[in-house]
Amino acid sequence: EPEVTQTPSHQVTQMGQEVILRCVPISNHLYFYWYRQILGQKVEFLVSFYNNEISEKSEIFDDQFSVERPDGSNFTLKIRSTKLEDSAMYFCASRIGTLNTGELFFGEGSRLTVL
């Protein structure tokens, strides 16, 4: 069964460094998302992406964050100048985009630890 894949599964970085989290959505899906989940808390929307551009972003998704789909398969989240409070699990998700289903398929997540 097709799956959303994410790398790395865990990244440890020093405060102020840049990180790139990578995702490969399911191949025939059209809508892509990044979510953040701080330990023990809710799943927070960061950004949605469709037709090679951001369709919507949250207040969390400020100039520190950017997304890219560089080659038609990968979908990346870049976090510049990381802060301690960026430590969280980052989930990528995709959905097919037809009207019959709105199910979000999540990757296993990338755990980011900022020291």
Q: For residue 33, state whether it binds other proteins (rule: CB under 8 A).
A: yes
Contact with other proteins (CB under 8 A) among 21, 48, 67, 82: 48
CB-based contacts of 47, cutoff 8 Å, min separation 6 = 33, 34, 54, 56, 57, 58, 61, 65, 67, 77
3-state secondary structure labels for all residues of 53-73: EEEEECCCCCCCEEEECCCCC
- Is the CB of 14 or the CB of 99 nearer to other proteins? 99
CB of 16 to other proteins, least distance (A): 28
Q: For residue 78, state whether it binds other proteins (rule: CB under 8 A).
A: no
Q: For residue 11, state whether it binds other proteins (rule: CB under 8 A).
A: no
Q: Which range binds other proteins by CB under 8 A, 7-15, 20-28, 44-52, 80-88?
A: 44-52
Contact with other proteins (CB under 8 A) among 23, 79, 94, 107: 107
Catalog residues that contact other proteins under the rule CB under 8 A.
30-31, 33, 35, 41-45, 48, 50-51, 55-56, 58, 91, 97, 99, 101-104, 106-109
